[in-house]
Structure 1
Amino acid sequence: MAAPYLPMSQEEMKKLKWDQCDFIIVSGDAYVDHPSFSGAIIGRVLENEGFRIGIISQPDWRNTKDFKKLGRPYLGWLITAGNIDSMVNHYTAAKKKRSNDAYTAGGKSGRRPDRATLVYAQRCREAYKEPPIIIGGIEASLRRFAHYDYWDDKVRRSILIDAKADLLVYGMGEKTIIALAHELQERRAREEKEQSFAIDLQGLCYVTDTVATLQPQEVITLPSYEEVKESKVAYAKAFRLQEQEQNPYNGKILLQQHQDLFLVQNRPSLPLTTKELDAIYALPFARQPHPSYANQGGVPALEEVEFSLAAQRGCFGGCSFCALTFHQGRIIQSRSDESLVEEAKELVQAPSFKGYIHDVGGPTANFRQQACKKQAKAGACRHRHCLFPEPCKNLEINHDHYLQLLRKLRQIKGVKKVFIRSGLRYDYLMADKKERRRRFLEEICQHHVSGQLKVAPEHASPKVLQYMGKPSIKVYEDFKKEYEETNRKLDKKQYLVPYLMSSHPGATLHEAIEMAEKIRDWKYMPEQVQDFIPTPGSLSTCIYYTGIEPRTMEPVTVPRTPKEKALQRALLQFRKPENYELVYQALCSAERQDLIGPGSKKLISPPMSQKFKNRKLFSDKEGRGKGKGKKRRH
């Protein structure tokens, strides 16, 4: 029988009549027993296989005391930094410390260390030397090869080598960790003291000092850590090879040397079937934070997912700045309608449920099926993308399946509204047949939009969109027109909110101005603009570091300085009075004074004095200057 919660203390272990845990999960997040939290989902999956799982959440990493509170794990440590890379969790795009942490009780920051996976692995080894250490989660997954680290501004070794862990499980991990757990159990039963593992498992990385046993025809050797550290061309080539071989059906084993050691990545784990995914989400999650957090203000990250349904995994959208394909993969894995309806009925019974399902989707809401028939047997294409630069001729597009699911959910007694808040790929929708598209838009505008629909054109410049892997801005504008026409027809006042990104590789002031002119023409004022953050594992991060597009090996202009980034960000919010001085300087620097003056086609009004015209906001050496000046209305 499953425990109400995975035990976090010796007292809870005693209630379960355990004297020892088989595995202990060490997590950088607060323990929320919900399938949207990585520690909980891996813990429940292993519990379902008959293993005794304990969890140490956000331990004090300054000593080993917290790491010993559940005793020695019988089979091994399972370490994750949490749902977000710990450096992304801690720092903004400007490398400033964040003041809160949504994955901590009360939203408090400072409950996990920088580079949490490395620190936790070290403390686990200090606490108990013998049990194997297995690292996983998104931080380990995206840093499995030699990688550029934005916060150190250098190339770091594979996290598996730096952590001195035994194994790394990458990707979502359920299949791999189940197989590995049973292998470790059998090894202990045979009383094998030597650290020997089933290193041929898919979804696994390991380190070895010899590769003599590997078949040459099954292996691709990447440029070594030493090479990619010294040569940006080598780094770009290594990334291109990594990207091409992330196929669970026919990808090659990847090998990367680090001095006298070899990092080995087996091909990715096979995607979960609908039946397997349904079984995971049917596990007995409490869906609440552990009771020990009862008086600490709740865990903010739960608010976004508590009454949402995760309908699928994976994404074939291929946005360059997103590392999701490097973690979840490009093959869609969907739950059945029946599984989602059953979960929705459980949500209705929750005392705090108010009748609103906040979201039904995944990384992309309207990707409910695999991109094409080929993916089911051969995986995603090495050199072709499903939607970029144009939808592939083999792409199978059908939104009726998603509509059928939404209809079933909104018919459940106790459900007032079912909203869509996951990313909606409007280019995928616009590639659908006109009648299906019309039907989909009418139905979601009538029943599934909560006043605003958020989509992500990201930019308007053709050059920047090319590097982003996003469609032409015309596709967005065509969608915008149809969405607005649909709402007028339904007599609804509902708005489109486009997500925009500044300072992406390939963007100069000219491209930022091009975006600002589009915003002007849309008569729109973005409240928020996302500065590009070079997170590990993404194509855009590779371009940012190397200045090279790895697929073509062509050079790319990259905005790097605080001045460049501040000017581009200000241009995308040119109507804000506090941005006036930055926008003025940007337009002058780009020799676009034609956009300064009165009239609807201008971005800002002229300055009020000659003295202001000569003012510098940035020094050449320091970046942002101290003086801000008086805010001006325009």
Structure 2
Amino acid sequence: MFLPTTKKELETLGWDRLDVILVSGDSYIDSPHIGISVIGHILSNAGYRVGIIAQPDINSPDDITRLGEPGLFWGVSAGAVDSMVANYTASKKPRKQDDYTPGGINNRRPDRAVLVYTNLIRRYYKNTKPIVLGGIEASLRRIAHYDYWSNKIRGSILFDSKADYLLYGMADTSVLQLAEALAKGKDISNIRGLAYKSVAAPENCVLLPSLEEVSNDKLKFIQSYKLFYNNNDPFSGKILAQKHDARFLIQNPPSKILAQQEIDEIYGLPFERRQHPYYEAQGKVKALETIQFSITTHRGCYGECNFCAIAVHEGRIVQWRSETSVLNEIKKIAAMPEFKGYITDLGGPTANMYGYECSKKLRQGVCHNKRCLFPSPCLMLKIDHHPLISLMQKARKIPGVKKIFIGSGIRYDLLQHDPGSGSQYLQDLCEFHISGQLKVAPEHDSPKVLALMGKPGKEALIKFRDDFNRINTRIGKNQFLTYYFIAAHPGCTVKDMMQLKKFVSNELKITPEQVQIFTPTPSTWSTVMYATETDPFTMEHIFVEKDPVNQQKQKNIVLEKELTKQWPKRS
């Protein structure tokens, strides 16, 4: 069921007014992979009348006013990707393509889309209902943060945009609680997962260094991020407050983890898995090729890679769907007329984190003094691939399914710490779920750089490569690995990239094609390193390559067919 996006659809439904209007920087794809669609269906399922305005024209009132004014609130999101990441490369060059825009041309998503859309609403509705921010751009910019594109510390996007409220994280439950509170005139200040503005800080809150302090003192910025990061757990998280001039940003503790039945209900909502016809008439979106027949099995990630924002947005506790829920979704997909028999992905942030989690985390929350996987897997995490093996086996037998691919990548080090089922999972992966190649992301080979990334050492990669090749030889398949690497991560020098080139040439015997320059995105540990040139865990100074020319040189070293160039020495 598509949510309405035109006046004609409202008339067909017999609605004279919507309760909630959601505004998105993406074209409207009705899919469980698209946050604005999920939130819309959750609200609709609860009885609210919800409409969507996708990629409104910012130079005209026509789009933003076509559904009228909502009775409860506006919901504003930049889309599935931070708009600055969507619009610019790591070298700050404009991107020509946008997979979430009709026709694929990057001409519909404005820079800092959340700010632009909020201002657009207020331009045509002066004293309107509350404007509520959500999605990845708002979630990761909810406190004072380093912004790579302006090269400065920016305040909370809630103040920057002049919106009323911000829902961070997945917002499944918090959006319903906010809608109910607004509908009944209740106090909103205790809603979990909510950020708001206040003239005073609440009692018993954790006070972060102010915007002024973090802007002028890198040690205060590090301190602020540590407090922020350690209070994003649903069990132990405290109320945070950060002063912005005369007012405070207040962040309530994160929403509680969902029961499995609640997650199943969300993914059982009536998604069309198509682009809305109104927008499809403007051109197809490339993103649909990847997500239309893709299945999410779980949320969250306990990998905590320092360059990744999943821990801050989805959380460090993995929550998974029931086997029945996943299989039912595959059956629905298999019945779609356009389905050709291929599931493009069965996974999540990392495919092989389904069906197990640390029992202590599920009772008391995450540890603040250690990580689940780095520098090696914690003994409290009982790694077990049996649930995923069972799910994959049953999914393969569903009528109409020819092949299920694992497109979301795996953590190969987990296999090596699962003596009970790790090897069986890899064999099933090679035999049934790969079509020629499997993507893995070692990112680097330098112990120093990997430690700053929070990634396992190259020894785990070599063992996995050998196991992968051995299994493929045994089953008679000619399959290979595709490796992803990062250049110019904080702490990485030309010397480190020269060594990486030797490693991939001599040990892996490849010339990588997938090398990306590190992009400092909001609210990650690696971005803190980039901004402060400091290792926030040891407080030692680290080298950070900030010159775009030299960043590109680091990348080119690994991409060269032969290592013939002598790059300038850098400390």
- Report if the CA contact (8 A) 2:356-2:384 is conserved: no
Q: 1:539-550 to 2 correspondence within 5 Å?
A: 539-550=525-536
Q: Distance in 2 between matches of 1:294 and 1:542?
A: 40
Q: Helix, strand or coil for the counterpart of 2:240?
A: strand
Q: In the TM superposition, what whole-angstrom CA distance separates every residue of 1:456-511 from its partner, at most 9, and x where no partner exists?
A: 10000000000000011111111111111111111110001111111100101111
Specify which of 438, 458, 468 is matched with residue 423 of structure 2.
438
1:623 matched residue in structure 2: none
Aligned to 1:205: 195
Give the letter for the 2:196 counterpart.
Answer: Y
Question: 1:229: which partner in 2?
Answer: 215
**Unmatched tracts of structure 2, length 5 or more:** none
Question: Is the Cα contact below 8 Å between 1:236 and 1:553 reproduced in 2?
Answer: no
Evaluate the alpha carbon distance shift between residue 482 and residue 118 of structure 1 in structure 2; reply closer, same or farther with a 3 A threshold: same
Aligned identity (percent) is 44
| More deviation, 17-26/411-420 | 411-420
Instruction: Return the offset for 1:369.
Output: 3.1
Alignment pair present for 1:511 and 2:492: no
- Cα deviation, residue 381, structure 1: 1.1
Aligned match of 2:460: 475
- Separation in 1 of the partners of 2:187 and 2:30? 30
The AA in structure 1 aligned to 2:150 is D
2:355, 2:388 within 8 Å by CA — same for their partners in 1? Answer: no
Distance 2:281 2:56 in 1: 18
Choose the corresponding residue for 2:160, options 138, 159, 162: 162
Name the counterpart of 1:126: 123
More displaced, 249-258 or 138-147?
249-258
SS at match of 1:585: coil
* Structure 1: gaps spanning 5 or more residues: 188-195, 592-634
Indicate if the aligned counterparts of 2:140 and 2:523 stay in contact, CA closer than 8 A.
yes
User: Letter of the aligned partner of 1:171 in structure 2?
Assistant: G
Q: Amino acid of the residue matched to residue 88 of structure 2?
A: Y
Separation in 1 of the partners of 2:355 and 2:224?
A: 31
Structure 1 equivalent of residue 180 of structure 2: 182
1:551 maps onto 2:532 in alignment: no
Instruction: Please report how far the alpha carbon of residue 64 of structure 1 lies from its aligned counterpart in structure 2 after TM superposition.
Output: 3.3
Asked if the contact 1:236–1:549 (Cα under 8 Å) also holds between the matched residues in 2, the reply is no
Paired residues for 1:514-525 under 5 Å = 514-521=499-506, 522-525=508-511
Counterpart selection for 2:76 from 69, 76, 79:
79
CA distance in 2, matches of 1:294, 1:472: 45
List 4+ stretches of structure 1 deviating above 4 A: none
Q: What is the CA-CA distance between 1:590 and the residue it aligns to?
A: 6.7
Residue by residue, what CA displacement relative to the aligned partner does 1:307-366 show, whole Å, maximum 9, x if unpaired?
Answer: 111000000001000011110000111111101111111111112211111110000000
Correspondence for 1:70: 67
Residue 197 of structure 1, CA deviation: 4.0
Alignment counterpart, residue 32 of structure 1, candidates 24, 29, 34: 29
Cα distance in 2 for partners of 1:220, 1:182 equals 28
Superposed CA offset, 1:89-110 (max 9, x none): 0000000000011011111211
Q: How far apart, in 2, do the equivalents of 1:337 and 1:58 lie?
A: 36
Equivalent of residue 329 in structure 1, options 295, 309, 315: 315
**Structure 2 residue aligned with 1:585, among 563, 566, 570?**
566
AA in 1 matched with 2:93: K
CA–CA distance in 2 between the matches of 1:514 and 1:170?
Answer: 40
Q: Where does residue 348 of structure 1 map in the other structure?
A: 334
Letter in 1 for 2:230: Q
| Residue-by-residue CA offset, 1:234-290 (whole Å, 9 max, x unaligned) | 111111111111111111111110110100111111122211111011111111111
Name the SS for the 1:548 alignment partner: coil
Amino acid across the alignment from 2:58 = W
CA contact (8 A) 2:442 2:461 kept: yes
Q: What amino acid is the match of 1:207?
A: K
What is the Cα deviation at residue 66 of structure 1?
2.0
SS in 1 for 2:29: coil
| Matching residue of 1:215 | 203
1:22 equivalent to 2:19? Answer yes
Distance in 1 separating the partners of 2:199 and 2:365: 31
Q: CA shift at 1:439, angstroms?
A: 1.4
Q: What count of residue pairs does the alignment treat as equivalent?
A: 569
Superposition pairs of residues 247-262 of structure 1, within 5 angstroms: 247-262=233-248
The alpha carbon displacement at 1:574 in A equals 2.0
Partner of 2:408: 422
Deviation at 1:589, TM superposition (A): 3.1
State the TM-score, normalizing by the size of structure 2: 0.98
Alpha-carbon distance in 1 for matches of 2:423, 2:71 = 58
Distance 2:17 2:157 in 1: 29
Q: Aligned equivalents of 2:340 and 2:6: distance in 1?
A: 34
Letter in 2 for 1:354: K
* CA RMSD of superposed structures (Å): 1.3
2:170 alignment partner AA: M
Q: Alignment partner for residue 472 of structure 2, among 487, 491, 498?
A: 487
Q: Answer yes or no: is 1:320 the counterpart of 2:306.
A: yes
What TM-score does the superposition give when structure 1 sets the normalisation length?
0.88
Q: Report how far residue 296 of structure 1 moved.
A: 3.3
Give 2:258's aligned residue: 272
